[in-house]
Structure formats: structure tokens, C-alpha cells
Amino acid sequence: MLVTGPADLDPAGLEPITIAPALLNRLAAIRSDVLRTLATGRPVYGVNTGMGALSKHRLTEDEQRVHQRNLLLGRAVGGPPWLPADEVRAVLIGRLRTFLTGDAGVSVGLIQQLVDAVNSGRTPEIPVGGAGSAGEIIPLAHAFGGLDLELGPKEGIALLAGIPGTTGRAALHASRVRRLSEHLTAVAAGAIAVIGANRDPYHPLTARTDDVLAAEHTRLRELAGPEAAPRSLQAPVSFRVAGHVIAHVRRTLAHLESAVDRAFDGVTDSPAYLDGEFIGTAGFHGVDLAAHCDHLTAALAHAAEVSAARLHRLLDPGVTGLTAQLAHDPGPQAGLVAVHKRAVATGHALRRLTSPSASSTAETSNGQEDVQSFSWEAVGVLAEAVRLTREVTACELLAVHQAFALSERPVPPRLRELLAGVAAVVPPIAADRPFGADLTRLLDSVLRP
């Protein structure tokens, strides 16, 4: 992929990266200006001074020559567990994207080293947790200290500045939630169809001026198809509110995507080189991203709870008209009751994730850093919320699949591909078996992120 500007880089993308010559020439010109400005000897935070509470200490020329490397070494205090490879790549691309704005004033040589690291699939060990600072210098020290990069003036502090890791990871998980939203809609539509639910709650007039809700109701109607003879006047609430719940997920996802754009488009380096001078910034305070990650985590937790509730109703003969617990032979067989229990346990784990990450502050660096946004932690919680919500969705999908098999209802045309995919990996359920294996196959194939 030829990159002509920062916005061309997608942390969720897998293509090899090539930076356009015109962009490299622009960045080289900025780097030349940076070096000329540094040569004046004026104090520049983290370049010829210490950092944090030691920023008043001026460094000698000998100290400056090793300082940029030392910045990475002394802050790599994290430990396992480490981020998975896809999130590591998102962190590296996030950093590279911020460098392409020119605000950091780093060399073309460093940029090319990062491109090579991404293209070669290198995965430095980056701790999952333990950021604990104004920004994310601890995980970034691991990310770039582990690559053995050749650094020039200001390039060590540039690698540690801002919140590129949170931003890159948020972009990656936003892309996964977008796909998960489609799965949530399709599985809910399958549940609506298989119980013969009244379609009134998804009527076009019910959304009025809410375009997001209207679009979600349209998707549900088209996927579930019409129902000429509903089993009851009103289906259980978990079926009727499906549109509102998933529309809320999509809305909060859009808010997070906007926050990601703001983080990438804004000034995150500090000190940033802007209009020929170094300016200290607060771009490391990721409260915008943290808050929207928290919001989406809560939306996913609610969606999973509603999914688990529908799953429970699918086990009820009074709702479905089918055998108890969707067992082929109720009594001797337990059916899918334990699948619902797994969904309940997973939903409980999700609820424990919904405490806001950005609601706590603590002083570090002898009071120089006296508040934090904990955005790194917030995006990590979102990653776990995505994983757990996928698990609950798989549980409901297995129940929808079995309900269609027992009811002998025709599968709506728009759901045939989904349920054919399920049938391809889930053998017919004629007796109790370890359904965990079926759920794993669904997660690895039909519901893959």
C-alpha cells in the first residue's frame, strides 16, 4: 500500500506499507528544520533536559548523546501478559501514523525503520497493563526499546509521546465491533424469525427522526422476513428491544471512531514542532478515547445481556412452541441449558468491565504528573468486552440454529448464508454433547472477528 498521507494508514490493515517519496521529502525538510532549531541550544523538554520532575536538569552534550536511548530503557518496567500480535501491529502503525504528520520532527531514517518493522511482522513484547502515567510511556518503551532502533536527537522522546498505542488499538477494535454489530443484528433477526415474533416493534414509523434506529429496524425486518401469523401479540422484551440495543452499539461505535480520528488528526507529540518552534502539549491526555472506549464497553455489555435473555427465552416452550431447552428428547437430555449458563457467566464478566477507566487519578513523577486518563487501560477493557460479547453471540446463534432445526420453519432468505455457515461447522444436535466445542468452531469461523 502506497501511503501518501497519515490517513492512509489503517491500524487494522494487513497490507505491506510503502511511504510515498513526496511525503518522505516533506518529512526530511521538517527534520532539517528541527535539527537547526536544536542547534541553537535553547532548552527543549526531553532532548537537552531531563523528563518529568527532572525537566529542570540541563543535560551535557555527552549526556544528550545517550539520553534518547536511555529514555526507552529506563521506562520499560512492564511484564507479561503481552499484547497479541495484531494489537502490537496496531500500536506500531499508530505511532507511524502520528510521525507522518511531521509534528514529531523525526528523521526519515527512523520512519523507515518503523515501516520495516511493521512489514517484517516484528512483534516486540508490549505489556497488556501497567501504563500508570500521563500517557503511555511504559508500553511504548517496551514497543520501541525492543526494536533496537537507531535514534537521533529528539527521537527517543518522540517514540514515547502521546497516545498512539491507545489510538491504534482503538481503531483495530472499532473495526471488530463494526463486524460484531452485523453479527448481533443477524443473530437477533434469527431469534425473532424462529419464534414467529410480531414485527410491529421494527415498524418504520417507530424510529421517527432517529436515523440510526430506523436503519437498524430496517436491517432486522429484512433479515427476519415477514411474519403473517405471529405466535403472540407481544414477544418478550429482549426480542422487541433488539433494534434499540444494537442501534446503541452502532451509535457508540461511531462516537469512538470519531474520537480515534480526533486523536490521529490532533497534535499528540510533546514537545511538538509547530511553525518552526517547539511547543509543549497535552496530547498525551487520552480522556476522549478513554471515555468513548468505556461507553462502547457498556453498550456491548448491555447487548450481551439482552442476547443472553433472548437465548433463555429460546429454551422456553411457551415462547417457541418447541421442546423444552431445545433438547431433542427433553428429560433424558438437557439440551442447551448449559449453553445459556455459559452466556450468563460471560455476561457477568462483562458487567465487571463497565466501571469507567478514566474515573481515577493518582500522582506520579513527584507530582509533575498529577492526573491520568488511563486510556491504555480503557482500550484494553474494550478488547476484552469485544471478546466476551462474541462468546455470548455464539451461544445465542447455536440456540437459533437448533431452534430452526427443531421447528422445521423455513430459514428467511437473508439468513440462509449465516445458518448454512453454522451447519457447516456444527453437526446436527440429536443428543447432549460438549457444546463448548461447537461454540469454539462458531467463534473461529462464522463469527470470526
pLDDT digits (tens, 9 = 90+) for 21-40: 999 999 999 999 999 999 99
According to the model, what pLDDT value does residue 194 have? Answer: 98
The alpha-helical segments, DSSP class H, found in 84-195 are: 85-99, 108-119, 137-145, 155-160, 164-194
Helix H or strand E encompassing 148: none
Strands 18-19 and 2-3: parallel
Amino acid identity, position 385: A
Helix (H, G, I), strand (E, B) or coil at 328: coil
Task: Out of 161, 190, 211, pick the residue that ends a domain.
Answer: 161
Alpha-carbon distance 400 to 257, whole Å? 31
According to the model, what pLDDT value does residue 273 have? Answer: 94
Helix (H, G, I), strand (E, B) or coil at 139: helix
The packing angle between helices 108-119 and 21-38, to 10°, is 130
Note whether 279 and 343 are same-domain residues: yes
Note whether 98 and 177 are same-domain residues: no
According to the model, what pLDDT value does residue 132 have? Answer: 73
Task: Out of 108, 131, 161, pick the residue that ends a domain.
Answer: 161
The packing angle between helices 435-444 and 416-425, to 10°, is 130
DSSP state for residue 102 in the 8-state scheme: S
Question: Does the residue 72 lie in any domain?
Answer: yes
Outline where DSSP puts E strands in 172-331. 272-274, 277-279
Alpha-carbon distance 14 to 118, whole Å? 9
Do 82 and 128 contact (CB within 8 A), yes or no?
Answer: yes
The boundaries of the domain holding residue 89 are 2-161
Task: Out of 161, 180, 210, pick the residue that ends a domain.
Answer: 161
According to the model, what pLDDT value does residue 364 have? Answer: 79
Helix, strand, coil fractions of the chain, as percent rounded to 5:
60, 5, 35
Of residues 128, 122, 124, 90, the one with CA closest to residue 9: 90
Do 149 and 375 contact (CB within 8 A), yes or no?
Answer: no
* Rounded alpha-carbon distances, angstroms, from residue 7 to 93, 254, 266: 11, 17, 12
Note whether 144 and 173 are same-domain residues: no
- Single pTM value for the model: 0.95
Q: Supply 153's cell numbers.
A: 536527537
Note whether 185 and 153 are same-domain residues: no
Note whether 156 and 68 are same-domain residues: yes
Number of separate domains in the chain? 2
Alpha-carbon distance 246 to 268, whole Å? 33
DSSP state for residue 201 in the 8-state scheme: G
Alpha-carbon distance 280 to 271, whole Å? 4
According to the model, what pLDDT value does residue 321 have? Answer: 96
Residues of the chain with pLDDT under 70: 360, 367
According to the model, what pLDDT value does residue 371 have? Answer: 79
In this structure, the number of other CB atoms found within 10 A of the CB of residue 438 comes to: 23
Q: Supply 267's cell numbers.
A: 497534535
The alpha-helical segments, DSSP class H, found in 266-286 are: none
